[in-house]
Amino acid sequence: MNKPHIGVLLLLWLLATASFAQSGPTSVVEIVGTTPLSTDKLLALCRQNGVPTTGVYNWQNHLVAYGPTASIRKLQQTVKAAYKGATVKLYDAPFYKFDRQRCTDKTTAKQWDNIILTANLVKDEAKQQEYLQYHATQFQKWPEVSNGFCNASFQQLLIFRQGRQLMLIISIPKGADLDELNPRTTQNNPRVDDWNALMKQYQEGITGTKPGETWVFLKPVATVKRAVSQKQ
């Protein structure tokens, strides 16, 4: 994973956090339409299938739901019928997981804010395999990276893959500021900068990103709707 360029994206980050009490495995379902999709429909389906509405995010014509694996699998079946003509992707299990068990201080926060980002791997399949191998051996060969996550108080970091597309979930203590935490990953830790530079060659933006843009932040739908309703 390369470090997201969050300096210019602080506003997006403020919109891209949502509390989510986690226990057990989690998964992601993504709905991609040819035009922007109904968020109300997905919120209703989440309520019916036991997926927290705080786990619903969107970006352009992409809708994403993040929650307990069993509930997400049920949701996947219902959204296929509800969003006819859209592409539905299940990100069932992460290929990479960091948690506080890898830290000297294994204490976890009681509540988390979850930040969801997405990017593509490059089309070169050999490079895709290199990327996966780097992550499979990161804890052994690049321990400075997870040490940086520990220093930054990251609670968990998951990376899912479906085809070329990646979904990154960064969990931080509820109410914390990612813009303040993220620099701690590289503080007195130059190997993390080396890792970030290395990972750039394997990643690119999904369709709809701006030139030079790789990771995009998805915005939590429930948080945005609540803010709009409070202003009315």
**pLDDT digits 0-9 by tens, 65-89:** 999 999 999 999 999 999 999 999 9
Q: Is 114 left (phi over 0), alpha (psi -120 to 50) or beta?
A: beta
Query: Does residue 209 carry a pLDDT above 60?
Result: yes
d(CA 106, CA 169): 19
CA 186 to each of CA 20, 134, 146, 177: distance values in angstroms, whole numbers, following the listed order: 27, 19, 11, 16
Sign of the four-CA dihedral 119, 72, 155, 13: positive
Phi-psi region of 178 (alpha: psi -120 to 50; beta: other; left: phi over 0): alpha
pLDDT tens, 157-202? 999 999 999 999 999 999 999 999 999 999 999 999 999 999 999 9
Report whether 8 contacts 213 (CB < 8 A): no
Q: What is the pLDDT of residue 189?
A: 97
Give the pLDDT confidence score for residue 202 in this predicted structure. 98
What pTM was computed for the model? 0.88
How far apart, in Å, do the first and last CA atoms of the chain sit? 40
Higher model confidence: residue 6 or residue 188? 188
Q: How far apart are CA 22 and CA 223, in angstroms?
A: 18
Q: What is the pLDDT of residue 222?
A: 78
Whether the per-residue pLDDT at 119 is higher than 50: the answer is yes
* Tens of pLDDT, residues 8-64: 344 344 444 445 446 689 999 999 999 999 999 999 999 999 999 999 999 999 999
Q: What CATH class does 26-92 carry?
A: alpha beta
* Residue ranges covered by each domain of the chain: 1-20+93-219, 26-92
pLDDT of 203 strictly over 50: yes
User: 């009490």: which residue's tokens?
Assistant: 21
Tell me how far CA of residue 76 lies from CA of 8, 28, 46, 91, in angstroms.
Answer: 34, 9, 10, 10
Largest CA distance in the chain: 53
